[in-house]
Structure 1
Amino acid sequence: MSAKQDLLCQQGGERPTYLGPNLPEDIWCHIHSLMPLQDAAQSASISHTFLRSWRCHPYLNFTEETLCSKQNASRKGYTARRFIMTVDQILKNHSGIGVKTLKLSFPYYCEVDACHLNRWLQIAITPGIEEVTLFLPTNYKKKCSFPCSLLFGGCGNSIKYIRLAECAFHPPVGFVCLRSLTKLHLYQVRITGDELGSLVSNCFALEKLELIYCDELIFLKIPLWLERLSFLMVSECHKLQVIESKAPNVFTFRFFSGPICLSLGESSRVKDLDIMHPYMPNSLRYAITKLPSAAPNLETLNVTSVDERVNTPMAAHKFHNLKYLKIHLIGFSKAFSPAYDYLSLVSFLDASPTLETFILIVMQNDMKHDSVFGDALHVRRIPAHKHGRLRKVQISGFCSAKSMVELTCHILENATSLESLTVDTIFDQFNQDTVVEHGDCSRRCVQTESGCGPISRDMIVEAHKVLRAVNLYIIERVPPAVQLNVREPCSQCHKLM
């Protein structure tokens, strides 16, 4: 029986009624492979061709979205049992042949039996598979171990992408089964530095490595011969003390954790670096004292600090190639130190002779610094600090602190190639990188469906003070060739009552 005849509706007779084109069976199988999982399963129950295709369905995507109906979403116990039963039934009827992608992402309320899990993985992980994703429940207490033995015998040689979450992964020493692996993403995975080092040292095709909340890692060593590795992300690995990378072509590095011993090799080619120490103060001090020598070829640098207690020092070495600098200061959970001097950020500008773009983002509930409206303003000047390449400056969350006004005046007087200065009176996370022309900023809420986000009255009062500070101290210092963009408080949402 042809695929077309399978899909015909027969009513009391043997002669079918034509419902579709007469296509070859391999075309119907391809169409079937593109269907969502539930639709593919249902169509297999009415078509012999689709049933044969279903037993070799290449894309096995088991998630709450694909398997659980919205009507039963509130019945967690029922939904969990239904989810497990559906996965088990589908994989029991699958031949294991032709699988390209396996995604097992369990709802947080599921209880997963390790025996069932291993059996499902054994069915699906066969020669030819390219992607494996396993997300176990977040609150699952029995940490299952990913069965590395399934990757032996040629099953692992075709895998290009592995994503594991909430499990243990203990590849044995000399593990050489992932020769085609290009992306490895581990989230809350129990793996030691020795195990990870042994694993990646044989993944010669590896291009992207992401490690998040892997708390058994104490050191991370990446060997010289991983020439294709270009992206490295390490986040919230709380016990990590050392990162030593000799991979020659790591261009992008994202690091969010405590201060560590960082070694990127003498000829490091890291050009894009994003760094944050979420539980330690003075990230700016760390960045300016450690990074010029650790990553000498940087072109883009993003530094996020949650607490600056000391002024930013002058750099002993320079960022000779840095073109883009973003500094993000977060002060919502605690007030910024009133003693911190925004003018000390000139240290970064002075250490970056090729800098073209400087973005400063300040998020704080209230302003504790000395106000520019206190005593008469005498702008401090730092002689012999010229920033000849700087063309664009944007300050989001501008405040009326005396030292921030001084920083802005310093830039206007010493950035000889400056083209635009954007001052945003309120931090706007939706449009923080958008340059808004002066005069088009009165209504922020037109850019979102729900209006402006809620902010405190203190922040609204501060925003209106900023407008006064800009009019009194900034506008008169703006050179004719520089375009000044002032983003004002929303005329509807940020009124002073």
Structure 2
Amino acid sequence: MVIGYGSPVSDRKRKFSPGSPHIASAKRSKKPGLRIGGLPTDILSSITSKLPLKEAARTSILSSQWRRIWLCRPNIDLSYHTLLSQSDDARRWTTRRNILNRLKFIKSVGEVLQQHEGLGTESIRISFHLCDRYADHMDKWMKYTIASKAKGLILELLSVNFGPTIVRYNFPLQMLDTKKNSSLRRLRLHFVSLCPPADFRGFQNLTRLCLQDVSITNEDLQRLLSEGNHLECFRIACCETLTSLKIPHYVNRLKFLLVLSCPLLQDISLDCDVPALHYRGPLIPLKLAAPSKLTNLWIMLPSCHSALGFISSELPTTIRHLEKLRLCCSQFEGTDVVSRLRSFLSLRQLILDLTITDLPRRTIDILDLGYLLEAAPFMEKLELHMVMRCLHKRYRPEDGELRSLPSCPHSHLSLVTITGFIGEKDQLELALHILRNAMVLKALKIYPRPCAVDSVPARLRPEERIADGRSVALEFLAKSDHRNVVEVIAAFNLPCLIESTFGYR
């Protein structure tokens, strides 16, 4: 029989000398290597904590050593995404499927919390469609949170798949008494009811509190913000029962206040010196302590007759230290407020998000925004984000000479960003005014494309507007640039300015 080269028989008969490299490699392969199971338990716990809850739980079947390692997780995320396989179809569940999945979710949460070590817990998040009917189970989960000395709790009881008569879970505020819990620092509640007991002494240890779609009265909210609390960040959103918001003076550690979309809210009164305020909703009275130490202000209004009118008339006169201002609104008409425009000597950064919707005839003069250079003589950064929901007319020399405002040399403005520049005459006049008067200007960035292209109806031909804006900027603005600071940018991806504006997460 002929045996070919490389056959199993020939390999068995082939002999190697003791010094053969094949023998050496075989010896090296027998050396013990580093296995993941040989790592210390705390390192293994850190590794499994980076895995999703389902995948981390699967490691328990590897060996007896791995059985409880996955339970030592600093952040426990319990939601339909992590516990139920039907998460992708959560919004399509039938009534029977809703009940079965709630029961399955409650059982899974109980099993996880029962097995969890409870040591070193940083935060617990529970997110599912639950109501007061399951209060007994949720009370047990809250007791576990207190016993585990977790620093953060997120309870998101989503209102989806419930009828209008559903009773919300009454969150047990008495559990947060200082004597019972000294560890919880961050609390976020969604779709619950808050009714503080008469002897409730407030959040003595919390530094961050977020209430979203929470049922609470004005009086109960005042009781929550009792004297001696340590709140630094307070966020309240979509609370439909709140009609008045008053932050007392003894909440003196508050650094950030956010109020979003509370439809019945009629006024905001701040007796404390909060440095940052973000408000979204209709125009309501804003009362501040005198003098106010507010430095960062972000106002989002559904509509506004005039941005300059709001700045000159609606901002409280007690704001003397305002450094950053962002105003988002839709303008419907122009108004003569130039003579009443106040001075903001502390303002360093101004952001205006304006939607111009004065159809069928333009009455808003964008050139009036040039008076802001006089009103804020120490401003360093200016951003104008414009969406022109009106009839468009690209500027041409036959449309008349370009207007100019009185000379106003500005010695601090160094960075200007204009988006939604579509080549309108008053837009060009404003850009030229800034270019001529900003003495230390380092960059004037022109973006013909608006921040939100989808907000411009297709019938207004947004792509044609973008092309007109680019050609006007290159033809008239760039030619007047003798310092090489103008930059016309066709496309962009502006970052979200929420955190950069307020500097607080």
Give the percent of matched residue pairs that are identical in Structure 1 and Structure 2. 27
CA displacement 1:138-170 (0-9 Å, x = unmatched): 323422221223223733432100001111122
150, 158, 165: which one pairs with 1:129? 150
Are positions 1:345 and 2:369 aligned together? yes
Letter of the 1:258 counterpart:
P
CA displacement 1:276-332 (0-9 Å, x = unmatched): 112554454223323262422111111111234223622442111111111111358
Letter of the 1:487 counterpart:
I
1:432-471 equivalences under 5 Å are 458-471=461-474
Judged with a 3 Å threshold, the aligned counterparts in structure 2 of structure 1 residues 328 and 184 are, in CA distance, closer, same or farther, namely: same
- Residues 288 and 316 of structure 2 are in contact (CA less than 8 Å); yes or no, is this contact kept in structure 1? no
| Offset at residue 353 of structure 1 (A) | 0.8
CA displacement 1:319-376 (0-9 Å, x = unmatched): 11111111111358x85962111011123222101012211111235x4266533854
Residue 260 of structure 1 corresponds to which residue in structure 2? 284
- Residues 127 and 158 of structure 1 are in contact (CA less than 8 Å); yes or no, is this contact kept in structure 2? no
Q: Which consecutive residues of structure 2, in runs of 5 or more, have no partner in the other structure?
A: 1-33, 493-505
| Offset at residue 57 of structure 1 (A) | 6.0
Task: Identify which range, 257-266 or 385-394, moves more after superposition.
Answer: 385-394
Once residues 385 and 311 of structure 1 are traced to their aligned partners in structure 2, the CA distance between those partners, rounded to angstroms, is: 22
89, 94, 107: which one pairs with 2:111? 89
Task: Identify which range, 291-300 or 41-50, moves more after superposition.
Answer: 41-50
Residue 483 of structure 1 corresponds to which residue in structure 2? 485
1:274-313 equivalences under 5 Å are 274-279=298-303, 281-291=305-315, 293-311=317-335, 313=337
Once residues 461 and 319 of structure 2 are traced to their aligned partners in structure 1, the CA distance between those partners, rounded to angstroms, is: 40
* Partner SS, residue 147 of structure 2: coil
Residue 163 of structure 1 corresponds to which residue in structure 2? 188
Letter of the 2:147 counterpart:
T
Are positions 1:68 and 2:79 aligned together? no
Letter of the 1:463 counterpart:
I
Letter of the 2:348 counterpart:
K
| Offset at residue 194 of structure 1 (A) | 2.2
Are positions 1:105 and 2:127 aligned together? yes
Judged with a 3 Å threshold, the aligned counterparts in structure 2 of structure 1 residues 312 and 83 are, in CA distance, closer, same or farther, namely: farther
Residue 139 of structure 2 corresponds to which residue in structure 1? 118
- Residues 304 and 310 of structure 2 are in contact (CA less than 8 Å); yes or no, is this contact kept in structure 1? no
Judged with a 3 Å threshold, the aligned counterparts in structure 2 of structure 1 residues 156 and 283 are, in CA distance, closer, same or farther, namely: farther
Residue 7 of structure 2 corresponds to which residue in structure 1? none
Once residues 176 and 255 of structure 2 are traced to their aligned partners in structure 1, the CA distance between those partners, rounded to angstroms, is: 25
* Partner SS, residue 289 of structure 1: helix
176, 194, 197: which one pairs with 2:222? 197
Are positions 1:211 and 2:230 aligned together? no
* Partner SS, residue 483 of structure 2: coil
Letter of the 1:402 counterpart:
K
Query: Which of the two has greater helix per residue?
Result: 2
Are positions 1:425 and 2:444 aligned together? no
| Offset at residue 229 of structure 1 (A) | 1.2
Task: Identify which range, 18-27 or 378-387, moves more after superposition.
Answer: 18-27
| Offset at residue 136 of structure 1 (A) | 0.9
Residue 8 of structure 2 corresponds to which residue in structure 1? none
Q: Which consecutive residues of structure 1, in runs of 5 or more, have no partner in the other structure?
A: 1-17, 431-452, 491-497
Residue 3 of structure 1 corresponds to which residue in structure 2? none
Judged with a 3 Å threshold, the aligned counterparts in structure 2 of structure 1 residues 73 and 240 are, in CA distance, closer, same or farther, namely: closer
| Offset at residue 182 of structure 1 (A) | 0.8
Task: Identify which range, 171-180 or 38-47, moves more after superposition.
Answer: 38-47
Q: TM-score, normalised by structure 2?
A: 0.77
- Residues 156 and 177 of structure 1 are in contact (CA less than 8 Å); yes or no, is this contact kept in structure 2? no
205, 213, 238: which one pairs with 1:188? 213
Judged with a 3 Å threshold, the aligned counterparts in structure 2 of structure 1 residues 468 and 100 are, in CA distance, closer, same or farther, namely: closer
* Partner SS, residue 477 of structure 2: helix
| Offset at residue 408 of structure 1 (A) | 1.7
Q: Highest CA radius of gyration, 1 or 2?
A: 2
Letter of the 2:141 counterpart:
W
* Partner SS, residue 293 of structure 1: coil
Once residues 378 and 56 of structure 1 are traced to their aligned partners in structure 2, the CA distance between those partners, rounded to angstroms, is: 73
Once residues 252 and 85 of structure 1 are traced to their aligned partners in structure 2, the CA distance between those partners, rounded to angstroms, is: 42
1:327-338 equivalences under 5 Å are 327-330=352-355, 338=362
Q: TM-score, normalised by structure 1?
A: 0.78
* Partner SS, residue 474 of structure 1: helix
Once residues 489 and 183 of structure 1 are traced to their aligned partners in structure 2, the CA distance between those partners, rounded to angstroms, is: 38
| Offset at residue 264 of structure 1 (A) | 2.5
Once residues 257 and 232 of structure 1 are traced to their aligned partners in structure 2, the CA distance between those partners, rounded to angstroms, is: 14
- Residues 168 and 190 of structure 1 are in contact (CA less than 8 Å); yes or no, is this contact kept in structure 2? yes
Residue 13 of structure 2 corresponds to which residue in structure 1? none
1:130-149 equivalences under 5 Å are 130-139=151-160, 140-141=162-163, 142=166, 143-149=168-174
| Offset at residue 230 of structure 1 (A) | 0.8
